[in-house]
Structure 1
Amino acid sequence: MSEEVKSPNYWKSLGELAKNEEYQKFVEREFPENATELNDQVSRRSFLRVMGASIALAGFAACRRPVQKIMPYSDMPEEVTPGKPLYYASAMPFQDALTGIVVENHEGRPGKIEGNHLHPASSGNTSIFGQASILNMYDPDRSRYVRKDGERSSVSAFTKFCSNHFSDTEQNVAFISEANSSPTFNKLREEALSQFPNAQWVTYEPFGEDNALEGANIAFDQRLRTFNQFDQANVIVAFDDDFLNPAADKNSVENTRRFTEGRDIESPEDGMSRFYAIESTFSLTGSNADNRLRLKSGDIGLFIYALAAELSNSVSGLSAFSGVSNRFSDHEWIPVLAEELLENRGESVLTVGRDHQPELHATVAAINTALGNTGQSVTYHEVPHFSDQNDQEAFVNLVEELNNGTIDTVVLVGTNPAFTAPADLNFADALSQAGQVIHLSDYYDETSKLANWHLNRAHFLEAWGDGSSYTGTPSIIQPQIEPLYSGISEIEFLDTILTGQQSDGYELVQQTWQAYYSSDFQSEWKQALHDGIAGNETFPVVSVSISNDFNTAAADFASNASPSEGLELVIRADSTVFDGRYANNGWLQELPKPMTKITWDNVALMSKKTADELGIKAAGLGESEVEVLSVTVDGTTIEIPAWVQPGHADDSITVTVGYGREGFGRVANKMGVDTYPLRTTNNMHFADGISVEKTGKMYEIACTQDHNTMEGRSLLRYATLQEYRENPDFSTYESSYDAEMPGVAYAEETTGDSDPLSIFDAIDEQEYPEEEPQWGMTIDLNACTGCGVCTMACNAENNIPVIGKREVSRGREMHWIRNDRYFDGDVNDPKALHQPVPCMHCELAPCEQVCPVAATTHSDDGMNQMTYNRCIGTRYCANNCPYKVRRFNFFNYTKEFLTSGDDPEIVQMAMNPEVTVRFRGVMEKCTYCVQRVNRAKIQRSIATNGQSKKPVDGSVETACQQACPADAIYFGDLTDPDSQVVQTKRNNRNYLLLEEVNTRPRTSYLAQIRNPNPKLA
């Protein structure tokens, strides 16, 4: 490495940073401690409990046929070719925002989900929730039938009940639903309110956008949706807004694409946006900031008002903040931010987290308007399905009516307020005062158990529906399979209540769109299903101006804002299980959280300074047990494990919801801590003056942050934009470009002391047939945000099993792509950097040289491949791999599941039939999605009559590449000099991991560039 290359002290955890004797022992182990055999008894019951559908999928499908007899096609459908999947456009609903998807369908059973390139909300990409949603459909713990008073019933019995019960149209009916943008759903909503004159409809989401809507109402006298176009901004300022995280922003896929487009840089001459983050919790979004400020969430408002006051001296429209003075008026960031924003009027974005109060959203909207951003980089949209009422207030009022006994019937559509409602409302007790309670849901959950009628809901892949994206692009949701458990959709459920008859979702959706497609319905309908987009219009963009009443209101709330005192509690949706609706999804439970790398649990996050003041000891390297705290808010106490998070704001503790569920599903059961009891109507997201004490108890946490440690070697390289311009080759090792094998860069053969170390001098290099493509990959660290969707997509594509909390804590996780998170700098305020690490597919692969049975070899197209039937489990290859990317399958998951008595006819259906299922005692790793490569080679050979096996550039996408919303991964043929992957490898930011070892990896990286403001460096 050249002397100019800076080698910062990267570290993953506080234990690694200490580099004490314990650290040395940990990294010197060949394999994680106790990784060879089980030292305790694991019963089949406990094993299957944490596996759920995910582990069942990992073993069963390839080795046993369904129990039922099947009949072959007597007349083969024209479009079906056995073994060749079909692809159908659809859309995935998340809250009230649809994301366009394409579903791979193998002879009638949906498998892999990808983004729809034609859909603006996805542009061909997905989130972790999109990738994992297929597992929810095949979950054996889903509700399987209708229940009446807890006993099994039927849809026909419910239909008869509706015909009689709802004939009384004068009764007081309360509908409570999740947010939904479906025009069919909202048409039925209006019909229900019309048919029942005494009815009311409340939308309840524990983490919705009500505060943002009310903020727009304060600023503009209209409840409008804010859309931040990050690609149009030179400067982005985020106040506690984790907009890249799908759990915090339902438009995260589009946000990520736009954010990374604004930071795309190909040469030192290019510019990139500058991103400031002011936040309490070290978030996924904050980890991508150029400048980040730790600040208690309770002080975010004061900071925003101080910035508005500074800007009021230079722009009109902020006079209400002139003269406002608080503890942040003299903060060093205030004049720097003001200067940047004034220099980029009309080309900046300010945004605040949806958890924060409407007054802060109104202030940020006023600042954007004063700077000329409104209508340029920030737009406001009128959303037809939004009501004029404040949903949170309406929900509180409804609970009060329930307590008064004035509600005859409650109809709950999907939502689960018995688990998620503010604790002080005592929703379960209030619900018991209603005459009849009817609940439609995916699981027989906390609310279902309180209902007179529970109906099992069809998954979105099983039912017809419709809806709109975040900005209003309409789509049709078309089912991929008949409902596995005869569930019904939301629109069928509502129509049955209204008509007293069983409904057909297909007819209901068609009725809606027949009025929309007035000219040629059949043609436009088919085109909408084919494209996944049902129209070109979006939600109307509203031309806004600041309300006349805003200045009066702003002067009041800005001058009366008080600072946060003492310890604060911040309550957020969890980054993997969200509000609890994904708690029974094993893929998501086992996905390491982006900043802590914790799996299967939630914790109380705090800074090291706060932990020291509370007497909390941080977990050491390799330690799995942490101290347990009692956290008390307004007299309610919970116990939760403590976790020291570098970069967290001092005097602030963050917890996430969605855990601690019981009797809900075998995966979610008793995992983590239920933190919803701390949420009240006054403390929905933040609480001041909390009490925290140590309990003296210890709790085991399965955290992957210290697994596969690289012992201080410089794997991730980054520079500031200024450093890159001064030294464009900052990241490169002395290397050359092989003209005979374009794209394969390797250590230059020199003489003297600078010779690269190599153990392969005596080994002849493999020669490849000229007609074969040679595959390689590049990962752009400047685009990667660390979201983890590549890991999730790899799980879904390659039948990777979930192993459970205990096995993860032993270092046995099976993910073929790990996402390393590094810190750089001071423990209290470090930078964070992300790096996905798959198999490098080394040209001189160390694993191949030591395998005694030739189970790992090179293919003709240059991939390092595994022959599972040869592998005898010596693990020599893992020991010899310098990149720590091989995974050993310690258990025979197939055998465990075969004898479990679960549902093989259901769970086998999610398996990818193109990927081998692995059994106990074999090594696994990334294969560059060889099944996709071979499919493309066959198609190319057919198209050229056998003249070429080299697919056209871009026709092969690996699962990780296709899912990545940042488009950070490039894959292609290294013998094609015009391919994208070759162009990236010619970039001066391109480098190889451990290039000095001379393994000649085919996967390389583009070094990361940050653009910090030098005045704040």
Structure 2
Amino acid sequence: MKTYWRSLEELEDPRALRIREAREEARQKSLLYKSKEGVDAGNSRRDFLKTLGFSVAAATLVASCKRPVEKAIPYLIKPEEITPGKANYYATSYYDAGDYCSEVVKVRDGRPIKIEGNELSSISQSGTSARVQASILNLYDGARYKGPQKQNQPISWVDADQEVGQALEDLKSHNGRLVLLTQTIISPSTKKIITQFLQTYPNAEWIQYDAVSASGILTANQKSFGQRAIPDYRFDKSKVVVSFGADFLGTWLSPVEYTKRYTSARRLDDGQRTMLRHYQIESHMSLTGSNADVRFPVKPSEEAGMVLALYNAIAGAKGAEQFSGPGTTVDVTPLAKELLENENQSIVISGSNDENIQLLVNGINHLLGNFGNTLLWDSALLTKQGLDEEISQLTADLLAGKIEGLLVWGVNPVYDHPKGQELEAAIRKLKLSVSFSERKDETAAVCQYILPEPNYLESWNDLEPKAGFYSLAQPTISPLFDSRSVQESLLKWSGQEQTYAEFLKITWENEFFPKQNEYADFRLFWNYSLQKGVFEPGTTTTASFNPENLNAAASSLAAAKPGTEVVLYESIALGNGKYANNPWLQELPDPIAKISWDNYASVPVAYAEENGLQNESVIRINGLELPVFIQPGQAKDTLAVALGYGRTHAGKVGDGVGKNMFSYVTEKNGSRQYYFENASVEVASGTTFPLAISQTHHSMEGRPIVRETNLDEYLLKPDAGNELHEEFEKHHVTLYKEIEFKGHHWGMAVDLNSCTGCGNCAISCQAENNVQVIGKEQVRNRRIMHWIRVDRYYSGDPANPDVSHQPVMCQHCDNAPCENVCPVAATPHSDEGLNQMAYNRCVGTKYCINNCPYRVRRFNWFQYVNNDKFDYNANNDLGRMVLNPDVTVRSRGVVEKCSMCVQRIQEKKQEAKLAGRMLEDGEIKTACQQSCPGNAIVFGDLNNPESKISKLFKDKRNYHLLEELHTLPSVGYLTKVRNKA
């Protein structure tokens, strides 16, 4: 059996770590009420519990006697579509910084409260990401601008239009250069409006800017295929995937879409007996690398030599021309052989922004016959269109004073451009500077005018994320603040008195209505498209490969260099940092490091040993101090630091969290490079910086909780790796009478082959169930409140370990250890197999927490905080609008945990009862299940032998956590199967 470990300390001495963790937990518990309830930490356990029980019970009694007045104002004229207490659902679309997702938004009494993926979209296919889930909270962000401003003073829209319009005319009169700087625009209607604006002001130009750029792949594809776009990667049609540093399951291009396809090619249900084989060559341990079958840690500068060697090995076998260039010490012959054995059924990708590397990658895929099979141009990705050369020229012109006016929309170059400080000074000198930012950011702070756009949930829009694939966005709530769409501003300044909603509808009537023949009346087509959320007629595109640039690309590649290199990457939670003020994202632990509320320098294990570093030590990278996290799997002579932190003008949650690394982004071959070489690294002796590491909070005492095998063994023996399951089943002895569930018996199954560890489920659960945010200090104190956590376990060599991800929530045990010890019966068992919590009965003794072997129960003591710095989403009037009224908002001093979304169960049962029918299998979906991009979670009725959950529980791969305890969980896990290395 493999040895699994959560940290290097556990690998070195697991017993000592468990003792240390137990002592620390005891210390934290003793301090819990020292400041809040006047309990002295030196008091006895008996006194502590007496005071705890009295204080909480008394608080509950007072609260029940003096209940605050709740005011409810009825509708004078009730909107036809609204039934108080019943949710409405609206299809819309999310797009920001290259992230796209088609959504269905749940709205209760006029308030959007939950986002789900749109199952009618062929792109996102009902999946979401953590950032998409958390975007609902951005709507209620107190850092949003409340209305138009001029020089930080309020101004009316009428005055703003008059003054900005006059300034635009002045620039036009003397041909003063005006730049409209935006993120990548994928809205067809918006592009038409921008075109009209540029026609009105011929002195203006439009530049698209991506903070994390794909310029290298765009320019390479332009040269190789005449297409300045990104092909559609069909991982579901692939047998072999080779990725050079592309975190396609985490942050690269279209991770929700790619996760759906990737996991579908690795599932082993419905008789599937083959599995996509995944190679990852990368520098830092990414989410994608943690899921790979084979992973090679390499320095960023070594990638070029490996790509060229792989190209030459394949070209040599195919009789094609080979090229000279930088060499590599890695033997890629076996990899080339496997790719050649899977021609037309493989994908080779690179996350590099170097055009020359991307040209060679195109050459590899062309030699393998992948274009037209696993890489398609018919549905090219359009979410990244910014060219770094244009941004470099714009920066030079701004600094040289050649530009007089700047309109900034959806981007923040003062923060995320390497020359941000210089740009700040240049923008202050402009004759006209306008920011359309919805919320505080560093660029808006230095602009003359701030004319805020509404949140996307308050807006009309259309999107074309892939060629021929369109989606609509519609308002789900009236604007909370005095904002206006940028499209409407551009129309007004172009001399058109027209709302964007009207313009959008006309565009669809003229351009998209003729592309279909299902509806003869435009009104029907429009209503249908709006209701469905997507319109996907598709396109037909052909592109031939041009090999002329390969020789020049190979000769332009630089050889690997000695010295330390630093990789800059997007985090799963914060991305480029635009929504750093979102507390849900700040508190989401990194899937690998399990750290929240900071960025840090990931260092290799050997490097840490050589330099005497520990977690939370401090090093200086080119003079910038960063805390250390020792990362197993980090490539030799490399460090890694996340982008998106170090904001100075984001809001009270995001300001001052972490360090800004965008200033360290370099440029090479005309494109921005997200690593730098020859880094100067010094150890700040005697200095430490606290990190909120949550993985080591939950120990399972070394018992087998992750079970795995390889595909060869699985095909020979379906229960391979899961032999313990039958052993435990045979030897169960219990004093309890077997429980009989006469109606429903709810259960859940998690396929470890499909769970990538992305953390989407944690945020989805948080949004659905009103889970509290507690802040960095309390996360460090082992009080993180997430109802579902995704544990990460290493196994094997610390220099390059295997990684396993396992979601853990309340197991809803039929023999639940928590139920017997509760002195007030606050955690009973339902007749449908759910372990329930009666919050108004709980007095917070926490006996249940101590008796739960799965460590999944949470003590909510942090409901109200006096310090405004930690006034998170549940503690202010605006933030409370996101709360789900179907779920009890817990008062301080009670235990809470996963309820299997009992509110959703009851809702669907009631619907079926009113309709006079039986519940259908799959009709009830928990929050974590519904939004999972990997389809890893299944929920259903175990008493229905035809249900999917029943069949999965009978699968030879199914097992339960800690089966030796005979708690009889209602949650099962399917053994992880890897391809044999």
Q: TM-score, normalised by structure 1?
A: 0.89
Aligned to 2:549: 550
Hey, what's the Cα distance between the residues in 1 that align with 2:404 and 2:592?
47
Counterpart contact for 2:302–2:328, Cα < 8 Å: no
Q: Secondary structure at the match of 1:507?
A: helix
Q: Which of 474, 478, 488 is equivalent to 2:474?
A: 478
Structure 1 residues 41 and 360: CA distance shift in structure 2, 3 A: farther
Hey, what's the Cα distance between the residues in 1 that align with 2:290 and 2:455?
34
Displacement of 1:913 after TM fit? 0.5
Hey, what's the Cα distance between the residues in 1 that align with 2:604 and 2:67?
50
Structure 1 residues 942 and 898: CA distance shift in structure 2, 3 A: farther
Q: Secondary structure at the match of 2:646?
A: coil
Aligned to 1:923: 895
Aligned to 2:680: 691
Hey, what's the Cα distance between the residues in 1 that align with 2:779 and 2:253?
29
Counterpart contact for 1:423–1:678, Cα < 8 Å: no
Hey, what's the Cα distance between the residues in 1 that align with 2:889 and 2:625?
41
Counterpart contact for 1:604–1:655, Cα < 8 Å: yes
| Identity across matched positions, percent | 36
Counterpart contact for 1:97–1:251, Cα < 8 Å: yes
Counterpart contact for 1:268–1:724, Cα < 8 Å: no
Structure 1 residues 990 and 524: CA distance shift in structure 2, 3 A: same
Query: For 1:452-472, what per-residue CA distance to the aligned partner results, in whole angstroms no more than 9, with x for missing partners?
Result: 101222110011111122454
Matches within 5 A, 1:817-856: 817-856=788-827
Structure 1 residues 602 and 994: CA distance shift in structure 2, 3 A: same
Displacement of 1:84 after TM fit? 1.2
Q: Which of 747, 762, 775 is equivalent to 2:735?
A: 762
Aligned to 2:341: 343
Aligned to 1:742: none
Say whether residues 1:207 and 2:179 are aligned partners.
no
Counterpart contact for 1:218–1:359, Cα < 8 Å: no
Aligned to 1:17: 11
Displacement of 1:424 after TM fit? 7.5
Hey, what's the Cα distance between the residues in 1 that align with 2:554 and 2:31?
66
Of the structure 1 ranges 124-133 and 263-272, higher mean CA displacement relative to structure 2 is found in 263-272
Matches within 5 A, 1:305-320: 305-316=308-319, 318-320=320-322
Hey, what's the Cα distance between the residues in 1 that align with 2:870 and 2:683?
44
Structure 1 residues 899 and 568: CA distance shift in structure 2, 3 A: closer
Match for 2:736: what amino acid? I
Q: Which of 646, 657, 663 is equivalent to 1:660?
A: 646
Aligned to 1:352: 350
Q: Which of 763, 778, 781 is equivalent to 1:807?
A: 778
Structure 1 residues 646 and 734: CA distance shift in structure 2, 3 A: closer
Hey, what's the Cα distance between the residues in 2 that align with 1:601 and 1:531?
39
Aligned to 2:656: 670
Query: For 1:877-936, what per-residue CA distance to the aligned partner results, in whole angstroms no more than 9, with x for missing partners?
Result: 111111111111122338889998999553222110000011111111100000000001
Q: Secondary structure at the match of 1:857?
A: coil
Structure 1 residues 339 and 42: CA distance shift in structure 2, 3 A: farther
Q: Secondary structure at the match of 2:28?
A: coil
> Which runs of 5 or more residues in structure 2 are unaligned?
38-62, 515-519
Say whether residues 1:1009 and 2:977 are aligned partners.
yes
Query: For 1:818-863, what per-residue CA distance to the aligned partner results, in whole angstroms no more than 9, with x for missing partners?
Result: 1000000011111011000011100100000111110001111110
Q: Which of 72, 94, 97 is equivalent to 2:96?
A: 94
Aligned to 2:954: 986
Match for 1:913: what amino acid? P
Say whether residues 1:597 and 2:598 are aligned partners.
no
Hey, what's the Cα distance between the residues in 2 that align with 1:831 and 1:840?
26
Displacement of 1:154 after TM fit? 2.4
Of the structure 1 ranges 959-968 and 95-104, higher mean CA displacement relative to structure 2 is found in 95-104
Say whether residues 1:707 and 2:687 are aligned partners.
no
Q: Secondary structure at the match of 2:456?
A: coil
Displacement of 1:390 after TM fit? 6.5
Aligned to 2:299: 296
Hey, what's the Cα distance between the residues in 2 that align with 1:113 and 1:64?
30
Hey, what's the Cα distance between the residues in 2 that align with 1:958 and 1:595?
25
Q: Secondary structure at the match of 2:494?
A: helix
Counterpart contact for 2:645–2:657, Cα < 8 Å: yes
Structure 1 residues 794 and 907: CA distance shift in structure 2, 3 A: same
Match for 1:588: what amino acid? L
Query: For 1:400-452, what per-residue CA distance to the aligned partner results, in whole angstroms no more than 9, with x for missing partners?
Result: 22223232211111211010111378211222332110001122221111111
Match for 2:729: what amino acid? E
Displacement of 1:184 after TM fit? 1.6
Q: Which of 409, 415, 425 is equivalent to 1:413?
A: 409
Hey, what's the Cα distance between the residues in 2 that align with 1:163 and 1:767?
74
Of the structure 1 ranges 466-475 and 231-240, higher mean CA displacement relative to structure 2 is found in 466-475
Aligned to 2:919: 951
Q: Secondary structure at the match of 1:988?
A: coil
Displacement of 1:96 after TM fit? 4.8
RMSD: 2.6
Displacement of 1:490 after TM fit? 2.7
Q: Secondary structure at the match of 1:356?
A: coil
Displacement of 1:508 after TM fit? 2.5
Hey, what's the Cα distance between the residues in 1 that align with 2:150 and 2:34?
43
Structure 1 residues 506 and 430: CA distance shift in structure 2, 3 A: same
Aligned to 1:514: 509
Match for 1:708: what amino acid? H
Q: Secondary structure at the match of 1:313?
A: helix
Hey, what's the Cα distance between the residues in 2 that align with 1:481 and 1:71?
18
Displacement of 1:650 after TM fit? 0.6
Hey, what's the Cα distance between the residues in 2 that align with 1:497 and 1:884?
59
Of the structure 1 ranges 268-277 and 438-447, higher mean CA displacement relative to structure 2 is found in 268-277
Hey, what's the Cα distance between the residues in 2 that align with 1:64 and 1:469?
48
Say whether residues 1:786 and 2:757 are aligned partners.
yes
Say whether residues 1:403 and 2:399 are aligned partners.
yes
Q: Secondary structure at the match of 1:90?
A: strand
Of the structure 1 ranges 996-1005 and 479-488, higher mean CA displacement relative to structure 2 is found in 479-488
Displacement of 1:17 after TM fit? 0.9
Hey, what's the Cα distance between the residues in 2 that align with 1:812 and 1:29?
15
Structure 1 residues 227 and 643: CA distance shift in structure 2, 3 A: same
Q: Which of 954, 965, 979 is equivalent to 1:997?
A: 965
Counterpart contact for 1:850–1:876, Cα < 8 Å: yes
Aligned to 2:263: 260
Hey, what's the Cα distance between the residues in 1 that align with 2:434 and 2:869?
37
Counterpart contact for 1:823–1:831, Cα < 8 Å: yes
Aligned to 1:566: 563
Say whether residues 1:231 and 2:231 are aligned partners.
no
Aligned to 2:490: 494
Hey, what's the Cα distance between the residues in 2 that align with 1:262 and 1:98?
22
Runs of 4+ deviating beyond 6 Å: 39-43, 62-66, 382-387, 894-903
Aligned to 2:530: 529
Hey, what's the Cα distance between the residues in 1 that align with 2:492 and 2:618?
49
Hey, what's the Cα distance between the residues in 2 that align with 1:861 and 1:413?
52
Displacement of 1:727 after TM fit? 2.8
Displacement of 1:782 after TM fit? 0.7
Matches within 5 A, 1:28-427: 28-29=22-23, 31=25, 33-38=27-32, 71-96=73-98, 98-168=100-170, 169=172, 170-245=175-250, 248-266=251-269, 270-316=273-319, 318-321=320-323, 326-328=327-329, 331-332=330-331, 334-353=332-351, 355-380=352-377, 391-423=387-419, 426-427=422-423
Displacement of 1:646 after TM fit? 0.1
Hey, what's the Cα distance between the residues in 2 that align with 1:31 and 1:97?
39
Match for 1:446: what amino acid? E
Structure 1 residues 20 and 775: CA distance shift in structure 2, 3 A: closer
Q: Secondary structure at the match of 2:441?
A: coil
Structure with more helix by fraction: 2
Counterpart contact for 2:817–2:967, Cα < 8 Å: yes
Structure 1 residues 920 and 71: CA distance shift in structure 2, 3 A: closer
> Which runs of 5 or more residues in structure 1 are unaligned?
1-6, 44-58, 620-625, 737-745, 750-754
Displacement of 1:165 after TM fit? 2.3
Structure 1 residues 86 and 824: CA distance shift in structure 2, 3 A: same
Task: Report the number of matched residues.
Answer: 940
Aligned to 1:743: none
Hey, what's the Cα distance between the residues in 1 that align with 2:872 and 2:100?
37
Counterpart contact for 2:582–2:653, Cα < 8 Å: yes
